[in-house]
Structure 1
Amino acid sequence: MDKIKKQAFLADLGLVAVAFVWGSGFVASKNALSSISPMMLMAIRFTVAALLSGLLFRKRMRNISKETFKAGCLIGFFLFTAFAAQMIGLQYILAGKQSFLTATNVIMVPFIYWFVKKHKPDQYNFIAAFIMLLGLALLTFDFSVGFSFNAGDILTLLCAFLFACHIVTVGIYSKKHDPIALTVIQLSFAAIISLADVFIAGEVTLEIPIPGLLNGVYLGVFCTFLAFLGQTIVQKHTNSTHAAIIMSLESVFGSLLAIIMLGDHFTVIMFLGCLIIFLGIITAETKWSFLKSKQKNPEKISEI
């Protein structure tokens, strides 16, 4: 195995690790919410991540422009509201189910970008949207009681929409400003708003339950700081198709870990809905370009 192939292989392993860590975040969040409030959990998570990123990249934060600061705050607003909807919604929904519903944000992105930049999505995006709706119908339909769409489902889909807005704004502003500076600012913005909400709600206390504190720190260090940093580093050494497929495994890992560690119960219909949503995610992320590459260059499959 030559150096380039070795780097690509290690990068893919790195992305699998990132997807696994992000998937584990749903379990850690569910565990934490049994002892602390959603805003307290977010305050711990983002404060830890903001402090670590600020210390590591403090030199990059010198002399940042007013425009960069504004862009980072806007991105941070979508990051905060997305996680707020996710954490509040997680109180009313299975962690494994939420991992798949949250992942539908990748299907929403092209349509939000269409609204903002007037760039029409291609046929794969429309197909992915149709597949997603079919999967959502199966995931939220209970044949014993009929259509069941509760507060957790609604908040999680709102979370997915806000994450899609976050992705679009990052894509727009990262081309004009330093991505590292934007990352530090958005994490800091989310931390400050979360802390302010905790103070306003009167939830400030030094007697934070150990399970909530440990899970919050885990989310801040591994699922936020190290995961975002790791993705940025390793994705330089692999192609976008590989990265898209591997990162989509976040929802799969999230569901599997929820079943194993939390005892989430999935019906056959719900499981089928998850598979269909995953198919929609793959369609939106890759447009099945890896199959086209195999057909055109069968001798270069290892490079895909």
Structure 2
Amino acid sequence: MNKSLQSTICLFLAAIIWGSAFVAQRSGMDDIGPFYFCALRSLIGSLALMIVFLLTDRRATLHKTADPNDPAAKKALEEEHLLERKTLLRGGLICGGVIFIAMNTQQMGLVSTDAGKTGFITALYIVLVPIFGIFLKHKTGFTTWAGAVLGAVGLYFLCVKEGFSIQPSDLIILSGTLFWALHILCIGHFAPKVNVIKLTAAQFFVAGLISLAVAIFREPISWAALTGSSISVLYTGIMSTGVAFTLQALGQKHANPTAASIIMSTEGLWAVVFGFLILGEKMTGRELIGCGFMLIAVIISQLPVPVKKKGGNPL
């Protein structure tokens, strides 16, 4: 299996998990505030990943033990470890800070904005990622741009069910969308340079601590709130936070950020599918049209861009 296909599978699995977790994320808000919810899911996800972190770190250390009789090799290995730690620290702080804003603005929006509209506004990162990529000199082909536009159209049909109007809470969610796009670009930058499990654990530890600090001053908390939201928090913490975001980082090791954003935006589609399969919700003709647009968008974004020969004729 080639690396491109592996990346696509990882990103699809992440989108499926996020789609299945949407109901848990929404129901958890009945008992607990958005900042406490994000703090708990982030710290639980980070804790689960830190266990894997320690195991992989030990294994990597055993495989990279330098020859004690070779001072030059020992020094080179120490410098390599130091550089990796610095990159991991920088990546954890940057990615953690960005996703703290992205998660909490989305969670705050779920309190007062229709879930479908929230999903549509959030998934507009599908268009923002290639736009931001221009300034970072990322190469984005025509097929990827076409996929981004078709994906945005599909999300509209899939998620927006009533008259679309802009409310103050919508603007909060839209501001968070900017940070979801930035997070995809940040992961795309750091994931190829460090162990992705360590990076994911670090970013959510940072995001969890910041969320907890804010929650202490903004939101009330009680034992009843914790027990009432425990299932939602555990599921989103372990599956949506720990597993899915690790799959995202693994997938983005060998994927164009824009193509990755198109695949991950199918979480809205999977949310509708799981609602149909688990909750018995019926899919309307409008939703089926949206699903069709999104599937076409994913297929188009994965098509190879024709390469021109030196003579000027495309292959």
TM-score, structure 2 normalization: 0.69
Residue 271 and residue 163 in structure 1: after superposition, are their counterparts in 2 closer, same or farther (change >3 A)? Answer: same
Residue 18 and residue 74 in structure 1: after superposition, are their counterparts in 2 closer, same or farther (change >3 A)? Answer: closer
Residue 15 and residue 81 in structure 1: after superposition, are their counterparts in 2 closer, same or farther (change >3 A)? Answer: closer
Aligned to 2:133: 113
Aligned to 1:215: 232
1:207 partner SS: helix
Name which of structure 1's ranges 9-18 and 69-78 shifts more when overlaid on structure 2.
Answer: 9-18
Aligned to 1:297: none
Aligned to 2:22: 26
Which residue among 66, 74, 96 is the counterpart of 2:94? 74
Structure 1 counterpart of 2:227, which letter? I
Residue 17 and residue 167 in structure 1: after superposition, are their counterparts in 2 closer, same or farther (change >3 A)? Answer: closer
Name which of structure 1's ranges 15-24 and 28-37 shifts more when overlaid on structure 2.
Answer: 15-24
Compute the displacement of 1:119 (Å). Answer: 3.6
Q: Percent identity?
A: 28
2:223 partner SS: coil
Residue 166 and residue 67 in structure 1: after superposition, are their counterparts in 2 closer, same or farther (change >3 A)? Answer: same
Aligned to 1:228: 245
Which residue among 78, 85, 91 is the counterpart of 2:111? 91
Aligned to 1:45: 41
Pairs within 5 Å for 1:229-244: 229=246
Structure 2 counterpart of 1:203, which letter? P
Residue 122 and residue 25 in structure 1: after superposition, are their counterparts in 2 closer, same or farther (change >3 A)? Answer: same
C-alpha distance after superposition, 1:35-59 (max 9, x if no partner): 2111111011001011111222136
Unaligned runs of 5+ in 2: 59-80, 307-315
Contact 1:106–1:281, Cα closer than 8 Å, also in 2: no
Distance in structure 2 (CA, Å) of the matches to 1:175 and 1:10: 14
Compute the displacement of 1:104 (Å). Answer: 3.5
Distance in structure 1 (CA, Å) of the matches to 2:283 and 2:172: 20
Pairs within 5 Å for 1:123-142: 123-132=142-151, 134-135=153-154, 140=160, 142=162
Residue 162 and residue 10 in structure 1: after superposition, are their counterparts in 2 closer, same or farther (change >3 A)? Answer: closer
Distance in structure 2 (CA, Å) of the matches to 1:169 and 1:12: 18
C-alpha distance after superposition, 1:110-145 (max 9, x if no partner): 221212x23453323443454355456655584xxx
Compute the displacement of 1:225 (Å). Answer: 1.2
C-alpha distance after superposition, 1:221-275 (max 9, x if no partner): 1111123345667999x999xx968755422111233456678787654654564
2:220 partner SS: coil
Pairs within 5 Å for 1:284-295: 285-286=301-302, 288-289=303-304
Distance in structure 1 (CA, Å) of the matches to 2:268 and 2:292: 10
Contact 1:39–1:197, Cα closer than 8 Å, also in 2: yes
C-alpha distance after superposition, 1:144-185 (max 9, x if no partner): xx5423455444443333111011112122344443332221
Residue 193 and residue 232 in structure 1: after superposition, are their counterparts in 2 closer, same or farther (change >3 A)? Answer: closer
Residue 67 and residue 248 in structure 1: after superposition, are their counterparts in 2 closer, same or farther (change >3 A)? Answer: closer
Compute the displacement of 1:26 (Å). Answer: 1.1
Aligned to 2:269: 252
Compute the displacement of 1:29 (Å). Answer: 0.7
TM-score, structure 1 normalization: 0.72
C-alpha distance after superposition, 1:190-215 (max 9, x if no partner): 11011101112253433324331210
Which residue among 147, 153, 162 is the counterpart of 2:179? 162
Distance in structure 2 (CA, Å) of the matches to 1:13 and 1:165: 22
Name which of structure 1's ranges 175-184 and 226-235 shifts more when overlaid on structure 2.
Answer: 226-235
Structure 1 counterpart of 2:107, which letter? M
Aligned to 1:122: 141
